[in-house]
Structure 1
Amino acid sequence: MKQTYYSNGKLFITGEYVVLDGAKAFALPTRFGQSLIVEKGEGKRIVWKSYDSDKSVWFEDVIAFDEIKTEKATSEIETVKTTLIKILHEAYLLNPDFIEASEGYIITTELTFPRFWGLGTSSTLINNIAQWAQIDAFQLLDNSFGGSGYDIACAQNDTPLLFWREAGQPRVEKIDFNPSFGHNLYFVYLNKKQSSKAAIASYYAKQNNVSKVVMAIDAITEKAIHAKDLMTFARQLEKHEAIISEVLEMETVKERFFHDFEGTVKSLGAWGGDFVLVVSESDPTRYFEEKGFKTIIPFREMCLVD
C-alpha cells in the first residue's frame, strides 16, 4: 500500500537569527514543497530515490536497516546519505516500530522547487519523515539538524504565521497576511544556496546582549504584519535590515548588490544566499535580470495566502 506525505516550503520574512533568542519570527509557507512516497519493500532495507523539480534524480542509494539502527554509515565523510541516515536514526530512536515492524521500504521523494532554492529541502524532508514515523517533527529537528523550527511550522501550516520558542517549546500563531500591496512584493533568488548551519554558527560567534534587539525586532514584526500601505511595510523591513546588519557585522544585501535599486530589498533567513524579498512600486524584473538574477517570483505565486 502506497502512502504519500507532503510538506510546504518556507520563507523567513522577519526575525531571522534572533528567533534563536526568543524573538517572534514572521514566516510564510510556500506553494512549493516536497512529497515523500512510501511503498512496501523487502530485505530489511530502504531503496531510496530523490527527484528534483525537473524530474532528474539527484540522490539514490540503498540504506540497510542496521545502518539506521546504529547510525553507522559506510563513509565517515558527511554526504547526503550520512545526513539521511542521521535523520532516520533519530526517527528510529523516537519510534523504533516503523523500522522494527517492517520488511523494508521503497521511498521516493519529489520536490516541486529546485533544491538549490533554499525553500526547505531539509525541513520538508524532516517533516515528511516525522509524519511517516508518527513522531514529533520539532523533536526530530532538534535531535538531528537543530535550528529554531520555524521551517517545520511552515511545513505543517497553509497560512502565514508567527513562530517563537517559549521555554524551549515551539509556539505557532496563524495570522492574516494578504496585503493590498501584495502585487508590489517579489521574491528574487540570489543564485546561491546558503547553509543555515553555518549562518547560525556565525550568528552565535558575533552576538552579544541581544535582549534589546529581540524587543526591537518584535516591534518591527508587529508593525510589518499589520501594515496598511506599502511605504509602512517597506520602512519596517529597512529598519529590520539595519538592526540585523549591525548584529552580524555584515553589509545589507542592498548595500552589497543593489545599492542603486529604487525600492527595498530584504534578506530572508540566512544572510548571503537563497531568496530576498523585494518591495517595489513598479515591476522590478528587468532590473534584476540585467544584474544576472533571473528567478523573480511574485508574492501570490510564491506564498500560501488566502
Structure 2
Amino acid sequence: MTTSFYSNGKLLITGEYLVLDGALSLAVPTVYGQSLAVNPIPSRQLTWKSLDEKGKVWFQETYDLQANGTPFLSPLPTTRSLENDTDSSLKNNETVANTLQSILLEAKKLNPSFLEDENGYEITTSLNFPREWGLGTSSTLINNIAQWAKVDAFTLLWNSFSGSGYDIACAQHNSPITYQLKNSKPIAITVPFDPSFKNELYFVHLNKKQNSRDGIAAYKSKEIDLFTVIPKINSISKRIQTCTKRTQFEKLIHKHEAIISEILDIPPIQEQLFPDFKGAIKSLGAWGGDFILAAGNKNTAQYFRDKGYTTVIPYPKMVR
C-alpha cells in the first residue's frame, strides 16, 4: 500500500538573515510544494525517483539497504537513464545522491527503527513548481522524510544542513506564520495575515537561483549590532501584519530593505534593477535571486514582463 506525504513551499516576507539570530519574521507557505510517495517492494533496496513539475525525472538512484556486509544505504551501481546525460549532470546526480543518503542516515540516527522492515521501498517525489524558483526543494523533502521516518523535522534539518528552520515551519502550516528562534527552539505561530490590498502584490522571479548558504555566510561575516537591529525588524514584522493600506505597507518594505542593505553593504534590489518602478520592492530570503515581492497596481505585472521577467505571480495565486 502506498503512503504519501506532502509539504508546502515557503517565502520569507520579513526577517531575512536576522531570523538566524532570533529576530521575529513573517513567513508564508505557498500553494506550491512537494509530495513523497512510499511504496513497499520485496527486495531490500530503496529505489528513488524525483520528478519535476512536468513529470520528468531529474534525479534517480538505487540504494542497498542490506546486502553481504555492504554499508547500509550504499548507492548501487546503476545505468543512468536521465535525458541529456553529460559529465556535469552525472556529477550533479552523484552530489544529490550523497546528500539524500546523508539525510536518510540522519533520519535513521533519530529513529533507529526507520528502514528496518524486511521489505524495501520505491520512493517517488513530485514537485509542482520549477526547482529554480527556490520555494523549498530541500525543506519540503526534509519535512516529507521526517514525516515518513517519524522524526522531528527541525532536528533533521539542523543535523543535515543549517538555517533558521522557518522553511520547515512553512512546510507544516497552511496559513501565514510568525517564526522566531528562542533559546535555539523554533516558535511558529499562525497569524491572520491577509492584506486587503493583496491583489496589488506580486511575486516576481529574478530568473536566477540564489544559494542561501552563500548568502548566510556573507551575513555571518558582518559585524552587526543585533541589540539595535533586531528590535527594529521585530517592529516591522509586527506592523506589516496589521497594515490596512498599501502605502503604509510600502513604507515598511522600504524601511526593512534599508536595514538589510546597510548590514550587507548591498544596494536594495529596487535601486539596482528597478529604479523607475512606481511602488515598493522587497527581496525575499537570500538577496540577489529567486523571488522578490512587488507592491504596485494593475500595471505591475506588465512592467516586469516588459523587462524580461516573465514569472509574475499574484499574491492570491502564490500564498496559502
Corresponding position of 2:305? 289
TM-score by length of 2: 0.91
Matched, 1:50 2:63: no
How many Å separate the matches in 1 of 2:71 and 2:47?
A: 13
How many Å separate the matches in 2 of 1:168 and 1:71?
A: 33
Q: What code does the residue aligned with 1:219 have?
A: S
* SS in structure 1 of the partner of residue 54 of structure 2: coil
Q: Tell me by how many angstroms 1:42 deviates.
A: 3.6
Q: Tell me by how many angstroms 1:56 deviates.
A: 1.0
Residues 59-98 of structure 1: pairs in structure 2 closer than 5 A:
59-65=59-65, 69=72, 79-98=95-114
How many Å separate the matches in 1 of 2:238 and 2:19?
A: 14
How many Å separate the matches in 1 of 2:300 and 2:37?
A: 38
- Residue 107 (structure 1) aligned to one of 123, 127, 136: 123
Corresponding position of 2:135? 119
- Residue 166 (structure 1) aligned to one of 182, 201, 207: 182
CA RMSD of aligned residues (A): 1.9
Corresponding position of 2:273? 257
Q: Tell me by how many angstroms 1:102 deviates.
A: 4.1
How many Å separate the matches in 2 of 1:30 and 1:171?
A: 19
- Residue 215 (structure 1) aligned to one of 231, 237, 250: 231
Corresponding position of 1:147? 163
1:171 and 1:43, CA in 2 relative to 1: closer, same or farther beyond 3 A?
same
Describe the superposition over 1:12-48 as per-residue Cα deviations: whole angstroms up to 9, x where unpaired.
0000000011101100000010000000024322110
**Equivalent residue pairs, number:** 304
Describe the superposition over 1:43-63 as per-residue Cα deviations: whole angstroms up to 9, x where unpaired.
322110011001111111112
Describe the superposition over 1:126-166 as per-residue Cα deviations: whole angstroms up to 9, x where unpaired.
00000000000011001001110000000000010000111
Matched, 1:225 2:241: yes
How many Å separate the matches in 2 of 1:20 and 1:73?
A: 38
1:246 and 1:234, CA in 2 relative to 1: closer, same or farther beyond 3 A?
same
* Partners of 1:68 and 1:88 within 8 A in 2: no
| Deviates further, 23-32 or 193-202 | 193-202
How many Å separate the matches in 2 of 1:164 and 1:210?
A: 15
| Deviates further, 74-83 or 132-141 | 74-83
Q: Tell me by how many angstroms 1:72 deviates.
A: 8.3
How many Å separate the matches in 2 of 1:172 and 1:145?
A: 20
How many Å separate the matches in 1 of 2:48 and 2:171?
A: 21
How many Å separate the matches in 2 of 1:131 and 1:83?
A: 18
How many Å separate the matches in 2 of 1:69 and 1:6?
A: 26
| Deviates further, 20-29 or 78-87 | 78-87
Gaps of 5+ in 1: none
Describe the superposition over 1:91-121 as per-residue Cα deviations: whole angstroms up to 9, x where unpaired.
0100121212242100000001111100000
Q: Tell me by how many angstroms 1:232 deviates.
A: 0.6
Gaps of 5+ in 2: 78-89
* SS in structure 1 of the partner of residue 115 of structure 2: helix
* Partners of 1:33 and 1:112 within 8 A in 2: yes
Q: Tell me by how many angstroms 1:280 deviates.
A: 0.2
Runs of 4+ in 1 over 6 A off after TM superposition: 70-78
How many Å separate the matches in 2 of 1:45 and 1:170?
A: 35
Q: What code does the residue aligned with 1:83 have?
A: T
1:195 and 1:181, CA in 2 relative to 1: closer, same or farther beyond 3 A?
same
* SS in structure 1 of the partner of residue 13 of structure 2: strand
* Partners of 2:210 and 2:287 within 8 A in 1: yes
How many Å separate the matches in 1 of 2:306 and 2:41?
A: 50
TM-score by length of 1: 0.95
How many Å separate the matches in 2 of 1:287 and 1:222?
A: 30
Larger Rg: 2
Describe the superposition over 1:235-268 as per-residue Cα deviations: whole angstroms up to 9, x where unpaired.
1011000000110111111111111111111000
Percent identity (aligned): 48
